[in-house]
Amino acid sequence: MAKLRTRYVCQECGSTQPKWMGRCPDCGEWNTLVETLVEATSSGAVVQRSAQAV
C-alpha cells in the first residue's frame, strides 16, 4: 500500500506546498491553502485521496 502524504493546495492559483502557510507564496492570497491527502502509485504518479479545509 502506498504511503499517504499531506499537501496543501491554494484555492486561488493551484500552487502546491508541502507545509501549511497562512499566505500562498505564489499568488500572495491569505488563507487559501486546503489540506489534501495524496498517495504515490508504483508508476510515480500522485493520486488525490481526499480534501479538507484547514
Residue 2's pLDDT is 77
pLDDT tens string 4-54: 999 999 999 999 999 999 999 999 999 999 999 998 766 655 555 555 555
The beta strand positions in 1-54, using DSSP E, are: 4-10, 16-17, 33-40, 46-53
Q: Judge whether 21 and 31 are in contact, CB under 8 Å.
A: no
d(CA 8, CA 29): 14
Supply the pTM of this predicted model.
0.69
Residue 39's pLDDT is 87
What is the domain partition of the chain in residue ranges? 4-53
Residue 48's pLDDT is 57
Residue 51's pLDDT is 58
- Overall residue count recorded for the chain in this entry: 54
